[in-house]
Structure 1
Amino acid sequence: MSYVVGVDLGTSAVKVMLMNKQGEVVKEASKSYPLIQEKSGYSEQDPEEWVEKTKQALQEIAQENAELVANIEGVSFSGQMHGLVLLDESHHVLRPAILWNDTRTTKQCRDIYEAVGEEKLLQYTKNPALEGFTLPKILWVKENEPAIFEKAAVFLLPKDYLRFRMTGELHMDYSDAAGTLLLNISDKTWSDEMCDALGLDVDICPPLIESHGYVGNVSDVFAKESGLSTETKVFAGGADNACGAIGTGILTEGKTLCSIGTSGVVLSYEPRSDLDFGGKVHYFNHGEENAYYTMGVTLAAGYSLSWFKDVFAEEEDFSTFVQDVDSVPVGANGLIFTPYLVGERTPHADSVIRASFIGMDASHERKDFVRAVLEGITFSLCESIEIFREGGKTINTIVSIGGGAKNETWLQMQADIFNAEVQKMASEQGPGVGAAMLAAYGCGWYDSLEQCANEWLEVVKTYQPNPDAVEKYKELFSIYKDVYQQTKSLNERVQQYRK
């Protein structure tokens, strides 16, 4: 029996999965690590933590499955996007990594627009300048820590540094490079125009590689410290969202992922790089070669539901809390919720806007509010789908994972609001499975990632849109979209009174 390993390097923990040729998880191990938050808005990590905790997780798997280690053919990675790891000429880390959720770089985002221009930025990179991206972080170090920046020879993203420590080879895959604001998404090359405009030497960018590309074998040192074999091949891997798309089978045109966790993501497969969404959604290279994905984000998706439960039903479990929503009609008896608890990302990049309940009536019961929260979250996600469709994309099949896939009524609601077939998967391992699939494909187990997905992934239930509900939700969605415009100025006026 042969195996592959998928390493999912997240923000709070690394998860390592050992998988066989049937796509079954044979063993998994997870190790957590801390954030470094010295100031408000700062979020950093020690890259050595990623390396040591990955070794520990691999040791756990190797110790409990010693006879399997020699049969691990390949390893690949999924990684948190956008984080900045700066290395000197000797490839030593110069400072703690600045993570994707670090927000200190508002000034640097303005600097990018001033130096490049909004139109040129979208032309070169397909994405707007946001604090989470890597380029603003590089410019922040250049401006605020010049002595460190002078020593910088190359930058990597988190999983690329982990892979470097495993193999001694420096690379970055296209799906992660797309989140730096330095990659020409269409040409799949580092952008000389971006580097020149911002005074950066393009040589600071590492060599590029496909996500399934072979990097090298596990080094002698890392093998001894982790329990792996030096015969194990290492493949580049991809960004967490790209690997999540692979791990849920978003590999053909028309297929879309709806992932509802604390935040919500709508991610859609795109075979072309020439659609124009005006920067309203992210446009990144896929983990599949010569493919792309578009992505919209709802900042407080599952968080909106957990907030409401914690405030009004703290002692209840979620299954009890939502059990009556199926008895509430479409539209929650005239109650609409906008899930802007912490601001919003798509389609409104607005840090000031806050949530609203519209239409509260003395006849409303708690179950009406719960239904309204579920509908509001789904409406917000539908705004991303609407942008995709208006941009020329076909969206007819949506795979739902996360909290939104744990309730039958919510799954049907998604089918009705999105007006598309919604699929529920048998297993929801997401990015880790995607990383393992890249290793399996790289090892030659399958002729394509799509073939691997057909073998490994299983849809257990589908939900078709109900025509009557679809028509009602179209009208409610129109009202929902008006709420933002009607409450924007009000939120700006009351902002000074917030804690």
Structure 2
Amino acid sequence: MRYVIGVDLGTSAVKVMLMNEEGLVCDTVSKSYPLIQKKSGYSEQAPQEWVDKTTEAIKTLVNQMEGHVDQIEGISFSGQMHGLVLLNEDHHVLREAILWNDTRTTEQCQQIYDLVGPDKLLQITKNPALEGFTLPKLLWVKQHEPDIYSQAAVFLLPKDYLRFVMTGQLHSEYSDAAGTLLLDVAEKRWSKEICDLVGVEPHLCPPLVASHDSVGTITKAFAQATGLSSTTKVFAGGADNACGAIGSGILSQGKTLCSIGTSGVVLSYEERNDLDFEGKVHYFNHGEAQAFYTMGVTLAAGYSLSWFKDIFAADEDYERLLAGLEEVPIGANGLLFTPYLVGERTPHADATIRSSFIGVEASHKRKDFTRAIIEGITFSLNESIAIFRANGKKIDRIVSIGGGAKNETWLQIQADVFDATIVKLANEQGPAVGAGMLAAYGCGWFDSLQQCADVFTTEAQVYEPIPENVAKYKTLFKIYQDIYTQTKDLNEALQTFRPQ
């Protein structure tokens, strides 16, 4: 039997997964690491933590493996997007990595618009300037830490740094590079024009490869530290959402994914590089060669539910929190929730807006609030679907993964709110499976990623929209959409009273 390893480098933990050539998950090991939050809005991590925890996880995986280590033919990666890792000429890390959820760079986003212009930025990078992206972070370091910036020889994204330590080779790949605001997304090359306009030296950008490309083998030192064979092939991998799409079979036109984790994503496959969504949704390179994907983001999707649990049901598990969810009628007995706990991304790129419960009355029970939160998360994701449909995309079948796929009532709510068939996968492991598939394809097990998906992904259950529910939710969705505009000024006025 042959095996591959998929490494998913997340924000709070790394997940390492062993998969065989039949697409079965043989073992999974996770190791967590902390965030560094020095100030309000700051979010950093020590890159050495990624290396140490990944090394521990792979070593555990190898020690638990029933077969021989030489049967592990390849390894590939999925990674949190946008994070900035700066290396000097000796390839040593210059500072902690600044992560995707760091919001200190509002000023730098405006600088990008002033220097490049919003139209040109969208034309080249296909995305607006948002705090989460890499270029604003690079400009922040240049402005506030000039000594560090002057020593920088190259920047890497999180999983690319991890791969560099494992191989000694410096690369980025298209799907992750698309989230930097430095890539010409359509042409799949770093944009010298953007670099020149914002004053970033082009040599800071690493060489680009495709997600399935081989970038060598692991070093002898990493082999000794983990127990892997030094002949293990290493493949470039992809951004977490691109790998989530691969691992869910979103590999052809018309395929759409709904992923509900800490944040929430609606992602749709694109064949063309010239569609114009006016920056309302993200537009990135896919891990599949010559393909792209459009994506809307809800910043606090699953986080809204975990926040509610931590505050009001800390001693209970999610199963008990969601018990009785199906008993609450559509609309949660007149209660609506907006999941803006940390601001919002799609369709409102607004760092100031905050959540609201609308319609609270004394008769409401905890399960009403729970249902309202789940409906609010789903409404927010539906705003991205509405943008896709308004631009002519047909969205009638959606693969659902993550926390939203673990509860049958929530899956039915998705079908009814989205007015689309919802598909639950038999073995849903998200981006780690996509990383494993890239390794399997890179090793030559399959002639295409689609062939690989036919083996590695299987549908388990389908949820069809119920017409009368769809009608009710369409009415509620219009009310939900009014809440943002009605509360925007109020939240801006409250900003000075929030912790700074």
**TM-score interval for Structure 1 and Structure 2 normalised by the shorter chain:** over 0.9
C-alpha separation in 1, matches of 2:18 and 2:141: 38
Which range is displaced more, 245-254 or 38-47?
38-47
SS at 2:4's partner residue? strand
2:235 is aligned to 235
2:20 is aligned to 20
Q: Decide whether aligned partners of structure 1 residues 316 and 70 sit closer, same or farther in structure 2, where only a CA change above 3 A counts.
A: closer
SS at 2:34's partner residue? coil
2:151 is aligned to 151
SS at 1:86's partner residue? strand
SS at 1:288's partner residue? coil
What TM-score do the two structures reach when normalised by structure 2? 0.95
Contact 2:335–2:372 under 8 Å retained in 1: yes
1:488 is aligned to 488
C-alpha separation in 2, matches of 1:496 and 1:427: 46
Deviation at 1:302, TM superposition (A): 2.1
Q: Decide whether aligned partners of structure 1 residues 337 and 12 sit closer, same or farther in structure 2, where only a CA change above 3 A counts.
A: closer
The equivalences for 1:241-256 within 5 A come to: 241-256=241-256
C-alpha separation in 1, matches of 2:66 and 2:469: 55
C-alpha separation in 2, matches of 1:78 and 1:96: 20
1:325 aligns with 2:328: no
1:219 is aligned to 219
Deviation at 1:176, TM superposition (A): 0.5
Aligned-CA RMSD value:
1.8
C-alpha separation in 2, matches of 1:372 and 1:36: 32
Q: Which amino acid aligns with 2:183?
A: L
Q: Decide whether aligned partners of structure 1 residues 434 and 326 sit closer, same or farther in structure 2, where only a CA change above 3 A counts.
A: same
C-alpha separation in 1, matches of 2:234 and 2:291: 22
Deviation at 1:362, TM superposition (A): 4.8
Which range is displaced more, 343-352 or 117-126?
343-352
Q: Please, which runs of 5 or more residues in structure 1 have no aligned partner?
A: none
Q: Which amino acid aligns with 1:192?
A: K
The equivalences for 1:274-423 within 5 A come to: 274-423=274-423
Deviation at 1:66, TM superposition (A): 7.3
Contact 1:82–1:133 under 8 Å retained in 2: yes
Q: Decide whether aligned partners of structure 1 residues 192 and 472 sit closer, same or farther in structure 2, where only a CA change above 3 A counts.
A: same
The equivalences for 1:424-443 within 5 A come to: 424-443=424-443
Deviation at 1:214, TM superposition (A): 0.9
C-alpha separation in 2, matches of 1:313 and 1:17: 32
Deviation at 1:332, TM superposition (A): 2.6
Contact 1:424–1:460 under 8 Å retained in 2: yes
Contact 1:275–1:392 under 8 Å retained in 2: no
Contact 2:125–2:178 under 8 Å retained in 1: yes
1:177 is aligned to 177
Q: For 1:109-148, what per-residue CA distance to the aligned partner results, in whole angstroms no more than 9, with x for missing partners?
A: 1111110011111111011111111111111222222222
Deviation at 1:365, TM superposition (A): 4.0
1:458 aligns with 2:473: no
SS at 2:68's partner residue? helix
Deviation at 1:233, TM superposition (A): 0.9
SS at 1:23's partner residue? coil
Q: Which amino acid aligns with 2:149?
A: F
Q: Decide whether aligned partners of structure 1 residues 407 and 146 sit closer, same or farther in structure 2, where only a CA change above 3 A counts.
A: same
Q: Decide whether aligned partners of structure 1 residues 367 and 193 sit closer, same or farther in structure 2, where only a CA change above 3 A counts.
A: same
Deviation at 1:372, TM superposition (A): 2.2
C-alpha separation in 2, matches of 1:364 and 1:166: 54
Q: For 1:29-87, what per-residue CA distance to the aligned partner results, in whole angstroms no more than 9, with x for missing partners?
A: 22222333333322222222222222222222223337421111111011111111122
The equivalences for 1:463-482 within 5 A come to: 463-482=463-482
Q: Decide whether aligned partners of structure 1 residues 329 and 37 sit closer, same or farther in structure 2, where only a CA change above 3 A counts.
A: closer
2:209 is aligned to 209
1:269 is aligned to 269
Q: Decide whether aligned partners of structure 1 residues 364 and 440 sit closer, same or farther in structure 2, where only a CA change above 3 A counts.
A: same
Contact 2:258–2:265 under 8 Å retained in 1: yes
2:141 is aligned to 141
1:92 aligns with 2:92: yes
C-alpha separation in 2, matches of 1:234 and 1:306: 36
Q: Percent identity?
A: 69
Q: Which amino acid aligns with 2:58?
A: L
SS at 2:465's partner residue? coil
Which range is displaced more, 309-318 or 144-153?
309-318
SS at 1:249's partner residue? coil
C-alpha separation in 2, matches of 1:141 and 1:308: 35
SS at 2:170's partner residue? coil
Which range is displaced more, 201-210 or 221-230?
221-230
Q: For 1:148-180, what per-residue CA distance to the aligned partner results, in whole angstroms no more than 9, with x for missing partners?
A: 222222111111111112222111110000011
SS at 1:357's partner residue? strand
Q: Please, which runs of 5 or more residues in structure 2 have no aligned partner?
A: none
Q: Decide whether aligned partners of structure 1 residues 395 and 321 sit closer, same or farther in structure 2, where only a CA change above 3 A counts.
A: same
Q: Which amino acid aligns with 2:136?
A: P
Deviation at 1:313, TM superposition (A): 4.1
1:198 is aligned to 198
Deviation at 1:311, TM superposition (A): 4.1
Which range is displaced more, 280-289 or 400-409?
400-409
SS at 1:114's partner residue? helix
C-alpha separation in 2, matches of 1:146 and 1:313: 46
SS at 2:433's partner residue? helix
Contact 2:402–2:430 under 8 Å retained in 1: no
Deviation at 1:13, TM superposition (A): 2.0
Q: Decide whether aligned partners of structure 1 residues 43 and 361 sit closer, same or farther in structure 2, where only a CA change above 3 A counts.
A: closer
Q: Which amino acid aligns with 1:43?
A: S
Q: Decide whether aligned partners of structure 1 residues 330 and 185 sit closer, same or farther in structure 2, where only a CA change above 3 A counts.
A: same
Contact 1:254–1:395 under 8 Å retained in 2: yes
Q: Decide whether aligned partners of structure 1 residues 168 and 365 sit closer, same or farther in structure 2, where only a CA change above 3 A counts.
A: closer
Contact 1:253–1:394 under 8 Å retained in 2: no
Deviation at 1:361, TM superposition (A): 4.3
1:188 aligns with 2:196: no
SS at 1:253's partner residue? coil
Equivalences, count: 499
Q: Which amino acid aligns with 2:155?
A: F
2:117 is aligned to 117
Contact 1:275–1:391 under 8 Å retained in 2: no
Contact 2:86–2:95 under 8 Å retained in 1: yes
Q: Which amino acid aligns with 2:256?
A: T
Q: Which amino acid aligns with 1:321?
A: L
Contact 1:267–1:296 under 8 Å retained in 2: yes
SS at 2:427's partner residue? coil
SS at 1:70's partner residue? helix
